[in-house]
Amino acid sequence: MAINLLKNPSGEEQLEFWELTENGGSGWKVEDMPGDCGFDFCNDGVTKYFATSFELCLKRQVIDLSAGGYSDEQLDSQPAVAVEDWYGGRTDCGCSYQMTVCLLDGDQEVMQSFKPEPVTLDPDCDDCSWKQVSHTFSDYGPGLRFISFEHGGQDSNFWDGWFGVRVTGSSVTVDV
């Protein structure tokens, strides 16, 4: 089974290992499932999530693949890199979600990126339950050495507190 290279993907260790690239409004917060006006998660092993605020909140991890035990030869064979994230909203407040994942070379220059269009969840026309986004990178050329994973969002109503998008269960795996 592939190993998740992201540390603390669901907030079990609060915000440890995450670089807060945007920490607007009330900032990031870790809450217990299902949370106020929220939904249970489909995996019993995930008991917490990260909640965003009324201004943009983004957090990132840059994974050093060499430090993770991958050889240059393994990485230059262009193994599949799979990314997965889960996001959800509250039933009482709309929110937006975004993510950007980049494959980086040894100079941390972008080789390939995955940046889906931002998603807006509106409780008036969406159940705001947990949704998965996933992508598999391939044919990106030799030289992969780092992976940058960033995600987050905010609420749509600018309510004080943590009414924005919720994220959890994130993963990055390299199939060598």
CATH number of 19-175: 2.60.120.260
**Mean pLDDT per 10-residue interval, the chain, length 176 residues:** 91 97 94 91 90 96 96 96 97 96 97 97 91 97 98 94 96 94
Q: What is the 3-state secondary structure (H, E, C) of the chain?
A: CCCCCCCCCCCCCCCCCCEEEEECCCCCEEEECCCCCCCCCCCCCCCEEEECCCCCEEEEEEEECCCCCCCHHHHHCCCEEEEEEEEECECCECEEEEEEEEEECCCCCEEEEECCCCEEECCCCCCCCCEEEEEEECCCCCCCCEEEEEEEEEECCCCCCCCCCEEEEEEEEEEC
Q: What is the pLDDT of residue 31?
A: 96
Q: What is the pLDDT of residue 137?
A: 98
